[in-house]
Amino acid sequence: MFQDNLSDTLKKLKITAVDRTEDSLEGCLDCLLQALAQNNMETSEKIQGSGILQLFASLLIPQSSCSAKIANIIAEVAKNEFMRIPCVDAGLISPLVQLLNSKDQEVLLQTGRALGNICYDSHEGRSAVDQAGGAQIVIDHLRSLCSITDPANEKLLTVFCGMLMNYSNENDSLQAQLINMGVIPTLVKLLGIHCQNAALTEMCLVAFGNLAELESSKEQFASTNIAEELVKLFKKQIEHDKREMIFEVLAPLAENDAIKLQLVEAGLVECLLEIVQQKVDSDKEDDIAELKTASDLMVLLLLGDESMQKLFEGGKGNVFQRVLSWIPSNNHQLQLAGALAIANFARNDGNCIHMVDNGIVEKLTDLLDRHVEDGNVTVQHAALSALRNLAIPVVNKAKMLSAGVTEAVLKFLKSEMPPVQFKLLGTLRMLIDAQEAAEQLGKNVKLVERLVEWCEAKDHAGVMGESNRLLSALIRHSKSKDVIKTIVQSGGIKHLVTMATSEHVIMQNEALVALALIAALELGTAEKDIESAKLVQILHKLLADERSAPEIKYNSMVLICALMGSESLHKEVQDLAFLDVVSKLRSHENKSVAQQASLTEQRLTVES
């Protein structure tokens, strides 16, 4: 019965379409809508096969009373993926876009649905709407209808927002187009006016979530009151899913420093702290997820300099105090967020000094102690990051050493995780400016052996670089024979020689200064290793290379003079034509280099 009726209706439609008798046309359209309601997919296939779509293109005229029904049929048909390209091919897009200029609310509603469905996941649909200029007309409607709050109008606004989403979803260039058309301020205004309407609010949030991924959108968002609107909306939400949706918009927006500050000023932090307090002891999956999202977002807000300083409030702020209380908690996620937050607060000397004077170091070392055996790697990494940052101001170093930071950190020497190794090395390097500390650590055979091993970590350039720099720093700051002996015995010389050929001038220089100290203090012990590492040939290369920085040339010559105290190394220096290279440097534009060249030349001439 259904099939026969449908075929009859389609035949009848073709005839009435030609006659343009609107009454009988309307009857046929009603039959089609009924058939679609009963079995959308099958009816759509029939419609596609009958060639009716091309007819619709000619029937969609603004003055026809049937336009809304035809648009409704197209919207229903286009729910099927296989119908979207046929709709485009039948030439329906241009007449549908024309209908967007109608004053009739029902026509606008059905046309918005039809275009939205055709655009859903369809490149061809989007392209056609783009060419017909559909987006601009819809944005203009959103602007002019924005302030009207009756239910029918809100439904239309929701459809139009949905249409723009389907039109631009995951398509950067169309999203950029909407942004240039000024869609963002309009959507923010919509959200503010219609925050009571769940469907429209949700549509705005999805739109923000999509658009916020684009860098170019952040500037526009920052010039609206989005922060205030989102926080206001967030405070009203009780359901997890709704809050989740707002979080998904907040996270990408909060990457922008201006918006970070706006969110802090709008009171987001208080909301986040409250969530943490409510969820901290729950073992429900949703609550655990929300606790993580809230604490991660909190850490993100602290990445902006202004927002961070505002929340620090001289270390007296409620927020700072609450974050401190996360560190000793039993919740790994909170420990992690707490340590990361401290690392973020520790981004200027004033904050670092204040925190160290108020006992932060003990909190962090206690936290590390809880994670030595089978510890949580992310917590270890975060706590070490915080300690490393805190150790940057000179006045903090001695205080941190006496608070037992090196002992706490050295417990992680056995870690096999490169991120932990990297932070551990960085923290130690920051702490050993003092001669005493450098001497104590430099005589620690376990540490030195591990450093030499990590100097070969080819897969982890960061760990390798930091290990080399720490070896060199132990020698430079301790100036101790015992430290040098420990490093030579552990096989460290070859790494320092390799480091002298690094592409980073600062590392080259650190290596040359350490090697000069070795040559001055313990040449006998190091002689064989220096020979087999071919240091003399490397120095010749560095001096002959015009690209070497002045300080590299200077320190290479100082080192050559020091090496001549060894008979076998002296012979190597004589075998290479050092005099030619050095005498050229006497006229170097850098005074120190020129002076050192004269001294080195004298030394070479006297000793040859």
- For residue 407, the tally of other CB atoms under 10 A from its CB is 11
Q: Which two tokens stand for residue 215?
A: 């860098």
- For residue 417, the tally of other CB atoms under 10 A from its CB is 16
Confidence of residue 1 (pLDDT cuts 50, 70, 90): very low
pLDDT tens, residue by residue, 105-129: 999 999 999 999 999 999 999 999 9
In sequence order, the 6+-apart residues with CB closer than 8 A to the CB of 456 are 464, 495
pLDDT tens, residue by residue, 551-606: 999 999 999 999 999 999 999 999 998 999 999 999 999 999 999 999 999 999 88
In sequence order, the 6+-apart residues with CB closer than 8 A to the CB of 462 are 418, 422
Query: Among 65, 68, 53, which Cα is nearest to 20's?
Result: 65
Q: Does residue 144 carry a pLDDT above 90?
A: yes
Q: What is the mean pLDDT of the chain?
A: 93
- Residue 21 is predicted with a pLDDT of 63
Q: Does residue 69 carry a pLDDT above 90?
A: yes
- Residue 594 is predicted with a pLDDT of 96
How far, in Å, CA of 597 to CA of 7, rounded?
A: 101
Which class is 273-430 in CATH? mainly alpha
- Residue 435 is predicted with a pLDDT of 86
Burial of 190 (0-12, 13-18, 19+ CB in 10 A): buried
Report the range of poorest mean pLDDT among 49-58, 141-150, 217-226.
Answer: 49-58
- Residue 20 is predicted with a pLDDT of 60
Q: Does residue 15 carry a pLDDT above 80?
A: no
pLDDT tens, residue by residue, 505-559: 999 999 999 999 999 999 999 999 999 999 999 999 999 999 999 999 999 999 9
- Residue 438 is predicted with a pLDDT of 95
Phi-psi region of 256 (alpha: psi -120 to 50; beta: other; left: phi over 0): beta
- Residue 6 is predicted with a pLDDT of 80
Q: Which two tokens stand for residue 154?
A: 């809100």
How far, in Å, CA of 594 to CA of 573, rounded?
A: 20
Domain limits of the chain? 273-430, 434-533
Helix (H, G, I), strand (E, B) or coil at 352: helix
Contact, 177 vs 138, CB < 8 A? no
pLDDT tens, residue by residue, 298-320: 999 999 999 999 999 998 889 99
Q: Which two tokens stand for residue 34?
A: 């009924």
The secondary structure of 43-91 as a DSSP string is: HHHHHHHHTHHHHHHHH--TT-TTHHHHHHHHHHHTTSGGGHHHHHHTT
Percentage of the chain exceeding pLDDT 70? 98
pLDDT tens, residue by residue, 18-33: 666 666 788 899 999 9
Q: Where are the alpha helices (DSSP H) in 194-284?
A: 198-212, 215-222, 226-236, 240-253, 257-265, 268-279
**What's the mean pLDDT in 169-191?**
95
Contact, 554 vs 517, CB < 8 A? no
For 102, phi and psi rounded to 5 degrees? -70, 160
Q: What is the pTM of this model?
A: 0.83
How far, in Å, CA of 570 to CA of 50, rounded?
A: 98
